[in-house]
Amino acid sequence: MILENNKSEGMIRVPHEARNLIRTGQWKGQTSGVTPTYVQGNLVILPKEDAFDFLRYCFQNPKPCPVIGISEPGDPSLPMLGEDIDIRFDVPAYRVFEHGQMRKVERIDGVWRDDLVSFVIGCSFSFEGALQEVDLDVRHISQGRNVPMFKTNIETSPAGKFSGKLVVTMRPFKPIDAITSVQVSADFARVHGAPVHIGSAKDIGITDLSKPDFGDPVEIKDGELPVFWACGVTPQLAVRNANIPFFITHEPGCMLITDIKNSKMSLS
Amino acid sequence: MILENNKSEGMIRVPHEARNLIRTGQWKGQTSGVTPTYVQGNLVILPKEDAFDFLRYCFQNPKPCPVIGISEPGDPSLPMLGEDIDIRFDVPAYRVFEHGQMRKVERIDGVWRDDLVSFVIGCSFSFEGALQEVDLDVRHISQGRNVPMFKTNIETSPAGKFSGKLVVTMRPFKPIDAITSVQVSADFARVHGAPVHIGSAKDIGITDLSKPDFGDPVEIKDGELPVFWACGVTPQLAVRNANIPFFITHEPGCMLITDIKNSKMSLS
């Protein structure tokens, strides 16, 4: 397939080119590794009626919910993230939730409404490159897997209907590398920032690190500490918990590719 | 007066004590220098109807509008900023705007409504202590004045009804101190962060540095550069520009004193 070839040859380096391939149906599936120097975002689309409480939820929980873009109500563009973005077409796959029923679609122009607000939420992809730059072994990448994600027993701060447990990603490191990982990720204040926990998984309600709630398990070597970061799946759970009749998210792994460089996520 | 004595003796060091004095009418007027290690915030109170667009405005303009607290609609508490805060009483003076008419009051329980949402926005007081810690001469403090504030020709990013020019504060420094001021304030990502401009005032539409639009002029010594930071007066102007029929702000200088340490404003 042309696009897989493109990907394996590393040819999709420009976000608007990647979005155009997605928009025209030439690129389907996960976006991991596509335009790796640019920020990719999680997507939540809600009616305006619930938008304030959702944004308030994100504000109260900035580590799991680092909002990087918000649309005008009814407007499918997101000029702060990319001049040509049309959120109805530019994500490879969406999940549409209507009255608790979920269906997967490849475009959402058919269900678009004038009251819908798009929220784009940052993702840890943005600091993983920086971890690798300082020669840390980001295990799920070196093992070719999805990052392991776990539901913790930590309650997020509720806002209106939105509430739920904190979800975390886990990356194992030797102690000295764990310290470096704190330093490096802390610089990425705009996308999850420093870890939320280090060491004992039980402390945060995780009973078995080999059985993640989402994503894949990764190897933890002797002497390594698990390091836990707040995860962008948290707001997706909060939206599901809110029982609102209509909302849309991206299909996990099928992210919005933005024009923002990852390195900008470290600027104050 | 007991409280001025308290202040001059530096006795009000605990935020809840300061708020209690304000709440009971024993402390009136400006809060500059009260509990100096704790974050003080600008206040905007709006009906919920306009809250999403205002929060979106703040999100789109994070440097002038660093939101540090949001209330539940109708709820006068702000537990994330201080367990005992009651926003109807805990600011020394308020401005109530009704249909374009402004009046100054010392409490707002009489005009409180079930649909009001409080927004607390960070203030540059939080990094001025850090500038002084590294021996920078923060001129308006050494001259015992209010910080000079200027309306620029820079448009903020509009959201719904909310729009307007960026307002900046100005602090003059020798070039080497100007560089240090960038380093130090950049760490305070959660309260205005790094400056927005340095050097030529004309570049950002300021014609006379001796005539600030708000606050007091300060001396600029030979060889000093003016350094400009985004200012929390910006959202106040945006709210006035929005022509909404009812909103409340604090009286300039009469801030909300929170339980958050200034040093926390540098954590990601």
Chain A residue numbers with beta carbons less than 8 Å from the beta carbon of B189 are 189, 268
Q: Identify the sign of the CA torsion A173, A175, A177, A182.
A: positive
Over 60: is that where the pLDDT of B5 sits? no
- Rounded to whole angstroms, how far apart are CA atoms A211 and A179? 25
pLDDT tens, position by position, A49-86: 999 999 999 999 999 999 999 999 999 999 999 999 99
B153 touches chain A (CB under 8 A): no
Over 90: is that where the pLDDT of A154 sits? yes
Q: What's chain A's average pLDDT?
A: 91
pTM listed for this prediction: 0.83
B194 touches chain A (CB under 8 A): yes
Chain B residue numbers with beta carbons less than 8 Å from the beta carbon of A60 are 70, 80
Tell me: ipTM over 0.90. Answer: no
The answer for residues whose C-beta is within 8 angstroms of residue B179's C-beta and 6 or more apart is none
Q: pLDDT category, B87, cuts 50, 70, 90?
A: very high
Over 60: is that where the pLDDT of A6 sits? no
Chain A, window 25-54: residues with a beta carbon less than 8 angstroms from a chain B beta carbon: 48, 51-52
Q: What's chain B's average pLDDT?
A: 91
The answer for residues whose C-beta is within 8 angstroms of residue A147's C-beta and 6 or more apart is A124, A140, A169, A170, A171, A215, A216, A218
Output the pLDDT for position B124: 86
Over 90: is that where the pLDDT of B206 sits? yes
Which letter does DSSP use for residue B162 in this model? B
pLDDT tens, position by position, A92-138: 999 999 998 999 999 999 999 999 999 999 988 888 988 999 999 99
pLDDT tens, position by position, B18-46: 999 999 999 888 887 788 889 999 999 99
Interface contact flag, B186 A268, Cβ < 8 Å:
yes
Nearest to A70 among B56, B70, B267 (CB): B56
Average pLDDT over residues B182-203: 90
Percentage of residues in chain B with pLDDT exceeding 90? 76
Percentage of residues in chain A with pLDDT exceeding 70? 95
Over 80: is that where the pLDDT of B3 sits? no
Contact B54, B162 (CB under 8 A): yes
The token duo for A198 is 């280090």
Over 50: is that where the pLDDT of B4 sits? no
Output the pLDDT for position A1: 33
Which of A59, A63, A75, A161 is the best residue to mutate to test the B interface, defined by the most B CB atoms within 10 Å of its own CB?
A59
